[in-house]
Each structure stands twice: as C-alpha cells, then as structure tokens.
Amino acid sequence: MSELFSLFGKTALITGATRGIGLAIAREYGRAGAHLTISSESADDCDHAVATLTEEGIDAVALPADLREQEAVAALAARTLAHFGRLDALVCNAGVAPHMGPLASASDADWDLTLTVNLRSALWLTSALLPAMAEHGGGSVVLMASIAGVRGNKGLGLYGLSKAGLAQLARNLAVEWGPANIRVNAISPGVIRTEFARPLTDNPEVMQRRLALTPLRRVGRAEEVAALALLLAAPGGAFITGQNLIVDGGTTIGDGN
C-alpha cells in the first residue's frame, strides 16, 4: 500500500457505521490499517458490523450511542478516548431524513430530530474530541453532507438544510482547528446505492429522471464515497481542509443533455 493512503496505527471513530456508506468507510479505513470504533444507535447492528469486519482482519470495537442525546454523545467520545488513548480520525456519517415534502409541512419534531442527529451531534462530537486530537498532533474529520445541501429540493428541504449546515460546520472547524493540524472536510454524495437511498433507487420513474440529469448515467457505490473519505484521512489528503467535496456522477453540474 502507498504511504499516501495508509492509516497504519491510526485510530478512527465512525458513526452510522453499520451499513451503507458508513460501513464502507469503516472497511476502507480498516484495510488501510486503522483501529476502529463502530457506532450506531443499535447495539446489535454494531456487534454485527464488528463481527463482519473482524472476519476480514480489521480491528474494530462496537460502541453504540443514540446521537439524539447529548449525554450519550459525550459518553461515546469519552469511551472512544478511553479505549484508544487518542483519536486520529472522526467520520460523522449518521443521518436521518424523517420528513419528505415542502418545508412548511415539517413538524417541530421533524426539525428537532433532523437537526439534532444530522448537525448538532456532529458539533457535540467534534467539541468533545478535537481537543484530544490536537494534543496528539492533529488529525482528520469528515462530515457526511449531501448534494441536497447545495441546491434546492422539493422533497428533502429539511434534510438539505441540515446537510448545508454540516458543510458550513466543516469550513468553520477547519478555520478554528487548522493551526492544531486538524483538517475538517465535508463530502456531499449524490444518489448512492444504499438502504438509505432505497426510496429513490426503488422508484423507476424517479430514477429515470435523475439518471437523465446525471452525466455518468448511473447511481454511485458506497465504496466510491469511502475512497474519498480515506484520502481525506490519509497523508495524501494532508493539504485538503474546509472543503465540501461532491461525489454525484455530475448530477449537480449536468444540464440534462
């Protein structure tokens, strides 16, 4: 393996890591040599993911946490640092989209759930972990945003607001923590073939329209997002910070031709 893409001896915490993009990132970080903390709200899902990764020769531990609760997030951060003694990479991948439709139709509960899990939990985690990361010479944070946060969307407006907030959080934290050698970036995927995206990918009419607007004429794979997340955490990405990197097959730049 090229040293540019090595995480040998590094430690990483990945939220939303039991399936889809999160599990793909965990797998690539593990293959690159990182020791992993796998987190999601389900203890069973965490254990299953850890068992799968362990069979592949990857060192991983399960630490479930409900990101709706600030105390649970603080405990996740503390237990991660207690287990590893340090943290070199953080991936905030957990996300929810409980509301579909116009913004005005979203309930207060929809707003609270979406903004807490997608945005506030990332702030809670970074606030708890970046000081320790800085003490050990720096590291990398990847916040999983979305192309729903870079353009308007009739159905995913609330989700898009939370993801736009994550991209801005990456920029702010990059400025705040850059002098401590901590890099913070966002990744904005388009439609990726995961369980989370099935409401889109299982709808032929929606997919026909979407793919017609996507120059590469296909949906993405979780591994294609994970490869970028690996670069951002590895030495090869050491001069990239404060960016929102779009992985969408060209959807956001296409003109429909």
Of 64, 60, 23, nearest in space to 40 by CA: 64
- Which is higher by pLDDT, 74 or 209? 74
For residue 101, the enclosing domain spans 3-246
Task: Count CB atoms within 10 A of the CB of residue 116.
Answer: 18
User: How many whole angstroms separate alpha carbon 246 and alpha carbon 177?
Assistant: 23
- pLDDT above 70: residue 54: yes
Could you say which of 159, 187, 189, 192 is catalytic? 159
Q: Does some domain include residue 257? A: no
- Mapped onto helix, strand or coil, the DSSP state of residue 33 is coil
Positive or negative, the Cα torsion across 151, 154, 160, 161? positive
What is the CATH classification number for the domain harbouring 18?
A: 3.40.50.720
Let me know if residue 178 belongs to a domain. Answer: yes
Position 83 in a domain:
yes
Residue 96 and residue 114: Cα distance in Å, rounded? 6
Say if 254 falls within a structural domain.
Answer: no
Residue 253 inside a domain? The answer is no
Looking at residues 214-240, what average pLDDT do you find? 96
Residue 64 falls inside a structural domain: yes
Pure H helices in 39-99:
43-55, 70-84
Q: For the chain, how many structural domains are there in total?
A: 1
- pLDDT reading at 195 higher than 90: no
Contacts for 231 with CB less than 8 Å, ≥ 6 apart: 5, 237, 240
Residue 256 is assigned to a structural domain of this protein: no
Q: How far is CA 176 from CA 135, 173, 182, 201, 246, in A?
A: 15, 5, 9, 38, 23
Q: What is the mean pLDDT of the chain?
A: 95
Residue 111's closest CA among 159, 144, 170?
159
pLDDT of 201: 67
Active site residue 159: yes
144-173 residue pLDDT tens: 999 999 999 888 999 999 999 999 999 999
* pLDDT tens-place string over residues 114-141: 999 999 999 999 999 999 999 999 999 9
pLDDT tens digits for 57-93? Answer: 999 999 999 999 999 999 999 999 999 999 999 999 9
Cα distances from 147 to residues 11, 169, 188, 234, 252, in angstroms, run: 28, 16, 5, 24, 7
Write the CB contacts of 32 (distance below 8 Å, at least 6 apart in sequence): 1, 5, 6, 7, 8, 230, 234
The residue with greater pLDDT, 218 or 58, is 58
Q: What percent of the chain has pLDDT over 90?
A: 86
Does residue 252 lie in a domain region?
A: no
Q: Are 21 and 225 in contact (CB under 8 A)?
A: yes
